[in-house]
Amino acid sequence: MNAPLIITDRPHRFHGGVHPAENKTQSNGTAIEALPLPSVLVLPLRMHLGAPAEPRVSVGMTVRKGDVLADADGAISAAVHAPTSGRITAIEERIIAHESGLSAPCIVLEADGEDVWRERHGYPDWRQRDTAELIQRLRDCGLAGLGGAGFPTDVKYRNTHHAIDTLIINAAECEPYITADDRLMRERATEILEGAGIAARLVGAKTIRLGIEDNKPEALAAMTAAAEALALSLRVTVVPTKYPSGGEKQLIQLITGREVPAGGLPSDLGIICQNVGTLAAIRAAVIEDEPLIRRVTTVTGAAADRPGNYEVLIGTPIETLLNHAGVHLKKADRVIMGGPMMGFALPDITAPLSKTTNCLLVPAKNELPPSQIDNPCIRCGQCEQVCPAGLLPQQLFWAAKSRDLDSAELHSLGDCIECGACAWVCPSHIPLVHYYRYAKGEIRHEREEQIKSERARARFEARQARLEKEQQEKEARRAARAKAAAEAQARKQAEAGEASSDPVQAALERARAKRAERQNDVSDAGQPSIADLEKALELAAAKVKKANERLVAAEQEAPDTVPALQKAISKLEEKHRQAQQALDAARDQGNAS
């Protein structure tokens, strides 16, 4: 208790950044208001980054508030829960909140109006519990980052590659218009900091640092007061209001002066970064056993009569929320999900709110500048001066426009965070981010194609090798057959000559010589191989068979030769038996060794 609880650090700087009109006052003056229970909720199976959840309910089932509707499927995924009690009426494709008006599998829940909770087992004693148990709780509660990307929260805490020493609370909220985090901090600072305490314990972080823009003094005061009340030591960095200071990489640079390595994660620096909304959700999940079924969403813009922040159940139709906030759709120019810098225009407002919907912006007709036809790029370089990633946006644009993907990669396209600062300053009104997304998509596509063709090549080569091997084996068999045939022929000739004296003698001599040679070979090799023995056995068996055939023939044509032949057969059979024994012995030996 020697060091003061609250330490204030000076912010570092990041390259570039812009100052668009803040437009925060329209929505940050009123308290967070809970939206009345909607009658129908639509829950997309994928509201997070990663694999869609796997449904666990069927149509017609009744569920209570907080029951699992769909399980996380795979390592990077998040479960979906019932935001209220009711009946499952459909599991089908519904339009979701997406730029292209995409449909995706959703679970449709009809509320019964009772709002009855399932049994809950909170961990008020979380300090005594095992970290693994707490992390599992985050996964069971379907937590995903509420700041925007919706990365499954538990995955962040499972990362054990690097020791984490710092938890950064991202409270910058740099997008114009959005005030959800601002209001949350003003009203629920204690919950956020309790969540931060849990998060810090989960990763073993010793320091908790808060990064907040200087346009939120009330929120900052609430946070420091809550930290003092909780006796939680907090290091505060008040950063100048400049977009995009709330970008994870930029905030880390502002607070620590260090850069997240390209292609790396904040954990490479021993840092974990978490948005204030997510921290409050972590607290609710751990202490209250409340899954992620609600969030705070800003509704703002001149077309809304009652702009402000609303606490909504996940799955509430966007239309319902807009109606509640008094939005005049006739006055609205468009409905933007997210902020004006990075949000996207919704093609259909019947889509449901998801875990990542932090703002619905409904500007009136002349509130935002109208879309303009773009002029050619004059390389004025203003984009370069504002790029927070230190890129050359104009060069990236030329590369993307001419589909020169190599050049795009040479100019580090992958490091673009798509913040839109370049497009904001562009005097030629070029939709630069659009070009970058296109080029990124093309690069991704090309990589996939490359992997595909790589696989196809490997398959082809394997097939070629297999065919070749088969051919070789065939060839070998044919050669063996030909050799056997030739030997048989030679033998036949030899045996045919047995009748006449001299050739018989000669043949016998040859055979003897051959036998001696073979024995020599065998003794040379020391131990005959199993293959040799098998061959010998085969040969012996063939000889016996041939001799028997000849015996049958002789019994009819030349009965006088029968006894000689019988003698020969018994000799051959003896040889066959010996060959069999030798082979068996060799095999036993082989098995034994």
Partner 1 sequence: MINTTPTAPHTQRPTSVTRVMALVLAALIPGWVVLVISFSWGYLINPLLACATALVTEAALLKARGRPVLFFLKDLSALVTAVLLALALPPLSPWWMTVLGTALALIFAKHLFGGLGNNPFNPAMVAYALLLVSLPLYMTTRWANPDQWLSLTDTLSIIFAGGVPIDAATAATPLDVYKLNIANQTANEVLRAPIFGSFVAEGWDIANLAFLIGGGVLIWQRIISWHIPVALLGALMLMSLLFGSDADLRVPLSLHLLGGATMLGAFFIATDPVSAATSNRGKLMYGAGIGVLIYLIRTWGNYPDAVAFAVLLMNFAAPLIDHYSRPRVYGHRKAVKGYKRDD
Q: Output the six-digit token pair for 450.
A: 């490359």
Q: How far is the CB of 145 from partner 1 (least distance, A)?
A: 19
Q: Contact region for partner 1 (CB under 8 A) — 77-85, 128-136, 406-414, 542-550?
A: 406-414
Q: How far is the CB of 35 from partner 1 (least distance, A)?
A: 22
Which of 7, 410, 562, 585 is the binder for partner 1 (CB under 8 A)?
Answer: 410
How far, in Å, are 141, 404, 407, 489, 493 from residue 394 at the CA level? 44, 13, 12, 85, 91
Q: Does 395 bind partner 1 (CB under 8 A)?
A: yes
Of 87-106, which residues contact partner 1 (CB under 8 A)?
99
For residue 55, say if its preceding peptide bond is cis, omega within 30 degrees of 0: no
Q: Contact region for partner 1 (CB under 8 A) — 53-61, 193-201, 345-353, 447-455?
A: 345-353
Q: Does 279 bind partner 1 (CB under 8 A)?
A: no
Of 153-182, which residues contact partner 1 (CB under 8 A)?
176
Of 447-506, which residues contact partner 1 (CB under 8 A)?
none
Distance, CA of 238 to chain centre: 35
339 in Cβ contact with 277 (< 8 Å)? no
Nearer residue to partner 1 within complex by CB, 39 or 323: 323
Q: Does 13 bind partner 1 (CB under 8 A)?
A: no
CA distance 70 to 93: 15
CA distance 251 to 257: 9
Nearer residue to partner 1 within complex by CB, 107 or 405: 405
CA dihedral (564, 565, 568, 570) in degrees, to 10, reads -110
Nearer residue to partner 1 within complex by CB, 264 or 590: 264
Which of 330, 501, 559, 593 is the binder for partner 1 (CB under 8 A)?
Answer: 330
Nearer residue to partner 1 within complex by CB, 86 or 246: 246
Q: Does 366 bind partner 1 (CB under 8 A)?
A: no
Element at 222 (helix H, strand E)? helix 217-230
Burial 334-364 (b: 16+ CB within 10 A, else e): bbbbbbbbbbeebeebebbbbbbbbbbbbbe
Which of 226, 239, 285, 423 is the binder for partner 1 (CB under 8 A)?
Answer: 423
Q: Does 434 bind partner 1 (CB under 8 A)?
A: yes
Q: Does 433 bind partner 1 (CB under 8 A)?
A: yes
Nearer residue to partner 1 within complex by CB, 61 or 368: 368
The residue among 202, 172, 179, 182 whose CA lies nearest residue 14 is 172
CA distance 35 to 509: 110
Q: Does 341 bind partner 1 (CB under 8 A)?
A: yes
Max distance between CA atoms of the chain, in angstroms, equals 127
Q: How far is the CB of 376 from partner 1 (least distance, A)?
A: 3
Which of 132, 345, 479, 511 is the binder for partner 1 (CB under 8 A)?
Answer: 345
Q: Contact region for partner 1 (CB under 8 A) — 116-124, 146-154, 254-262, 439-447?
A: 254-262
Which of 127, 306, 403, 429 is the binder for partner 1 (CB under 8 A)?
Answer: 429
Q: Does 320 bind partner 1 (CB under 8 A)?
A: no
DSSP state of 147: S
Strands 6-9 and 68-71: unpaired
User: What's the one-letter identity of residue 519?
Assistant: Q
Phi, psi dihedral angles at 308 (to 5 degrees):
165, -165
The residue among 82, 80, 75 whose CA lies nearest residue 51 is 75
Nearer residue to partner 1 within complex by CB, 104 or 542: 104
Q: Does 263 bind partner 1 (CB under 8 A)?
A: yes
Nearer residue to partner 1 within complex by CB, 267 or 395: 395
CA distance 510 to 498: 13
Binding residues for partner 1, total number by CB under 8 A: 71
Which of 257, 326, 390, 441 is the binder for partner 1 (CB under 8 A)?
Answer: 390
Of 203-222, which residues contact partner 1 (CB under 8 A)?
none
Q: Does 378 bind partner 1 (CB under 8 A)?
A: yes
Q: Does 389 bind partner 1 (CB under 8 A)?
A: yes
Of 530-549, which residues contact partner 1 (CB under 8 A)?
none
Q: Contact region for partner 1 (CB under 8 A) — 51-59, 312-320, 414-422, 510-518?
A: 414-422
Q: Contact region for partner 1 (CB under 8 A) — 72-80, 367-375, 474-482, 584-592?
A: 367-375
164 in Cβ contact with 267 (< 8 Å)? yes
Element at 344 (helix H, strand E)? strand 344-345
Strand partners, 44: 106
Ramachandran assignment for 63, one of left (phi > 0), alpha (psi -120 to 50 degrees), beta (any other)? beta
Q: Contact region for partner 1 (CB under 8 A) — 103-111, 274-282, 430-438, 439-447?
A: 430-438
Q: How far is the CB of 304 from partner 1 (least distance, A)?
A: 14
Q: Which residues contact 447 (CB under 8 A, 6 or more apart)?
A: none
Nearer residue to partner 1 within complex by CB, 375 or 527: 375
Q: Does 304 bind partner 1 (CB under 8 A)?
A: no
Q: Does 375 bind partner 1 (CB under 8 A)?
A: yes
Q: Contact region for partner 1 (CB under 8 A) — 40-48, 88-96, 376-384, 446-454?
A: 376-384
CA distance 214 to 241: 6
Q: How far is the CB of 306 from partner 1 (least distance, A)?
A: 19
Q: Contact region for partner 1 (CB under 8 A) — 56-64, 137-145, 422-430, 575-583?
A: 422-430
Of 221-250, which residues contact partner 1 (CB under 8 A)?
249
Q: Is 113 helix (H, G, I), strand (E, B) or coil?
A: coil
How far, in Å, are 482, 513, 541, 547, 548 from residue 507 at the CA level? 22, 10, 21, 17, 21
Q: How far is the CB of 414 from partner 1 (least distance, A)?
A: 9
92 in Cβ contact with 108 (< 8 Å)? yes
CA distance 203 to 210: 17
